[in-house]
Every structure is written in structure tokens, then in C-alpha cells.
Amino acid sequence: METRAVLFDLDNTLFDHQTSARSGLKTFVRSFGVELTPELSRLWLEIEHATYDRYLSKERNFQEQRRERLRQFLPVVGHSGRFETLELDEMFAIYLRSYENSWTAFPDAVPTLQLLKGIGITVGIITNGNHEQQAKKISRIGISPLLDLFFTSEQMGHAKPTRSAFILPCEKTGFSPSQVLYVGDNFHVDIEGARAAGLQAMHLDREGAEQPMTLRHLTDLVPLL
């Protein structure tokens, strides 16, 4: 089946979330007189993943998952006890400013989107997350003009890997799911979810071993279409 559209994940696929998160965390822990270590980075991302999943499953709202992240992380840097909501929000703002100032696309993101547009492929994003923040990211990292479609879980009311999170964007492309290729870094959420919905799917693994239907670089995608 001919591929007519390529839809991408955003965080850690087009947008370098982990590098930005480490930058934000470095500033944050230094505000407590602590230097960032690989173990602190690992723990922060682990807590982030767990609390963000609660947001996606609608157990927490967007702001509360941030507060919960701090409640779990602060004791690790020597700050135990109860914190008022305003205190947590002010502390998270320290992280957020540095995180946002570090936002950047992966070097292969813009060239890949440009190449796809150049050969007449419809291009878009399906991302789990807060619509306002994700829209701000794509604008800041310079890929917004290259997108035909942009969908967030908040906007759709469905988060990946549910079937609806993939089918609704496919309907907007005007193509059948089998004519749409999805590219993402999370094998369960992105690849298994897309395939279960009937899309083609290709896993992006920038550091992993070579595997069939796996990309090391986004620019490797275009010659395969």
C-alpha cells in the first residue's frame, strides 16, 4: 500500500525532550545547592513518566501532575515535608523556565519534514499532552510551518495507544489507516498502538541496535517510502 501521509510523535521523536528536561533539572536542583547527577536525571524522568501517565489517564489534571512530581522528587534533594500548592507551583516554575529555554528540535527533524513535503507527503503530529504546551513547542522549535496536521491527546480526548488517538487523525488526512505511516520512539505507545489501529508504523531508536522497521535517524525514512 502506498504511503500518503506520515504522522510523527513529538517528544523524543521530533523534539529533544530529554536534553531539555536535563537542562531544566540542572537549574532546579542547583537552586537547592545540589549538582545534577545521572541518577537524579534518571529518577526525575522516571517520576515524570509515572505522573504524566496519571494525567493522560485523567486521574490528575495537568498542573496537579507537576505538583505530584515535585512531591516525589523533593525528598531526594533533601526537602521533605508538606508544601503548599503555591510553593510547589513556584518551585516548578524554576524548572519550567530553564526547560522551555532549552527547547530544540533534533537536527534531523526539519530536514526530514522538508523532504517529505517535497515529495508530496501529508505530514502531521499525534502527541500525548497538554495542547497549549505542545503547540508552543512546535512553534518554538520551528516545525509548525511544515505541518499539515497537529493533534494532541487533550484536544482529541483520547491518548495513545488507544485506537481512537490514531483513527481520528487518519480520518482528517482523508486517507485510510493503511496509507498512513506513524513514526515514534516509544514502542508500546507509538508502534504497537499504531499497528493495532491499522496504520503502518516505524520505530525510531536513536541509540538501539539495528532492527527491521527501526530507524536510527529520521532522515533514513524518506528513501524507504
Q: Residue-wise pLDDT tens for the chain (225 aa)?
A: 689 999 999 999 999 999 999 999 999 999 989 999 999 999 999 999 999 999 999 999 999 999 999 999 999 998 888 899 999 999 999 999 999 999 999 999 999 999 999 999 999 999 999 999 999 999 999 999 999 999 999 999 999 999 999 999 999 999 999 999 999 999 999 999 999 999 999 999 988 756 667 899 999 999 888
Which cell numbers hold the place of 56? Answer: 493522560
* Fold type of domain 5-16+104-224: Rossmann fold (3.40.50)
Whether 48 and 94 have beta carbons less than 8 Å apart is answered as: no
Please, what CATH class does the domain formed by 17-101 belong to? mainly alpha
Which cell numbers hold the place of 134? Answer: 505542545
Residues of the chain with CATH 1.10.150: 17-101
| Location of C-alpha cell 525510531 | 204
Query: Considering the entire predicted model, what is its pTM?
Result: 0.93
Structure confidence at residue 207 (pLDDT):
83
Structure confidence at residue 115 (pLDDT):
96
Residues of the chain with CATH 3.40.50.1000: 5-16+104-224
